[in-house]
């Protein structure tokens, strides 16, 4: 009788151990600046880690007013560059996995400036 009791306990322990392994959640990568792949994220301040706007579609599109006022952009994409069309009529480029100040409302060598539209391109470098 003792053999059956020990065998039953061993079987229950093995079943519990296998359930424990199955129940462990898989590891997930953390996002940089709170921006998940494959997004391009805009932030209200240069130190913020909470995006106020996100874009992910390839091609050109206008920015929302919130994104236009952002002071930082982060490109979480691995192989795509991002171009920002600036109010003062030039493109500013952001490489993959790079953060950059957008200069919104600040005086730059080009005058007071802000981004007007975004273009996500299938190219690895600016």
Position 4 scores a pLDDT of: 54
Position 16 scores a pLDDT of: 44
Q: How would you label 29-67 residue by residue, b for 16+ Cβ within 10 Å and e otherwise? A: eeeebebeebbbbbbbeeebeebbbebeeeeeeebeeeb
Position 103 scores a pLDDT of: 72
Find, among 69, 81, 90, the residue nearest to 38 by Cα. Answer: 81
Position 30 scores a pLDDT of: 55
Place of tokens 């600046």: 33
Q: 0.85 cut: is pTM over it?
A: no
3-class secondary structure, 9: helix
- 86 near 116, Cβ under 8 Å? yes
Position 102 scores a pLDDT of: 74
Residues of the chain with pLDDT under 50: 3, 7, 10-28
The H or E element that residue 7 is part of is helix 2-23
Position 107 scores a pLDDT of: 64
The total of other beta-carbon atoms located within 10 Å of residue 5's CB is: 9
* Cβ neighbours of residue 64 closer than 8 Å, sequence gap 6 or more: 53
């Amino acid at each position: 009788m003792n053999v059956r009791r020990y065998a039953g306990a061993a079987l229950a322990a093995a079943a519990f151990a296998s359930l424990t392994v199955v129940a462990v959640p898989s590891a997930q990568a953390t996002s940089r600046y709170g921006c998940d792949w494959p997004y391009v994220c805009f932030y209200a301040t240069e130190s913020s880690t909470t995006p106020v706007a996100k874009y992910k579609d390839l091609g050109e599109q206008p920015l929302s007013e919130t994104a236009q006022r952002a002071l930082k952009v982060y490109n979480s994409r691995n192989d795509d560059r991002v171009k920002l069309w600036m109010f003062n009529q030039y493109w500013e480029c952001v490489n993959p996995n790079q953060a950059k100040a957008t200069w919104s409302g600040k005086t730059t060598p080009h005058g007071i400036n802000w981004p007007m539209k975004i273009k996500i391109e299938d190219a690895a470098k600016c």
